Amino acid sequence: MPERTDMVDAVDWESLLGGPTRVPDALHALWSGDRDGRPSAYQYLADTLLNRNDRSPASIAAVPFLIDVVADPAAPDRFGACQVLRMIALGDESYWLIECPDPAADRAGVAALSGADRDAAQWAVEAYDAVRAGVPAVRAAQAVPAGAVGGVDRAGPGARRSRQRRAGAGVRVPHRGR
């Protein structure tokens, strides 16, 4: 577990989110041995850090901790961290599947806005930049073969069991690397 995980509690999450929060507990849960609790922690982080698809200073503050999960081959469920990072960088998939995100245009458009709209646009740009800064760690993590201890299984947690169930039902399930 990277040393930075100790710094989760040093962040003033309550001031970043405007009230009491379980974000530190959820971030710590990502490293836990509780296989059933980790998906709940990821869901909580996604719901809290992307309130109605808006990024905030809390979203930006969480990025280094999520990148640590992805970058550590021994970390469990790294795919979940990748998904939350994707959401922080690009927003909800209903946006980026319909429109092509253009960070340069978003960055240029911040100046034309004011008030809360400007803040939201600026946080979205900063969130994208924070995740982008972690891309080298994410790319290095992809070099760890799927199925290795803690490796990123791009199909997600539980995918192997699901593939096995479908295969048992007479459906051929191709999969690389296993």
- Does 152 reside within a domain? yes
pLDDT at 137: 84
* Structural domain for 102, as ranges: 3-168
Beta bridge partners of 141: none
* pLDDT tens sequence across 33-82: 888 899 999 999 999 998 777 889 999 999 999 999 998 888 888 889 99
- Does 173 reside within a domain? no
Annotate 109-172 with DSSP letters as a single string. Answer: HGGG--HHHHHHHHHHHHHHHHHHHTHHHHHHHHTSPTTSTT---TT-TTHHHHHHHHHHTT--
pLDDT at 97: 67
Beta bridge partners of 168: none
Contacts of 83 (CB under 8 A, 6+ apart): 42, 46
Q: pTM for the whole thing?
A: 0.75
* pLDDT tens sequence across 4-28: 667 899 999 999 988 889 999 999 9
Do 89 and 131 meet the contact criterion of CB atoms below 8 Å apart? yes
pLDDT at 139: 85
CA end-to-end span of the chain, whole Å? 26
* pLDDT tens sequence across 159-171: 443 333 333 333 3
- Does 174 reside within a domain? no
pLDDT band per the 50, 70, 90 thresholds, residue 130: very high
Do 44 and 104 meet the contact criterion of CB atoms below 8 Å apart? no
- Does 67 reside within a domain? yes
The total number of structural domains in the chain stands at 1
- Does 178 reside within a domain? no
Nearest to 69 by CA among 97, 88, 50, 56: 88
Query: Count of alpha carbons within 13 Å of 109, Cβ hemisphere only?
Result: 12
pLDDT band per the 50, 70, 90 thresholds, residue 173: very low
- Does 107 reside within a domain? yes
pLDDT band per the 50, 70, 90 thresholds, residue 105: confident
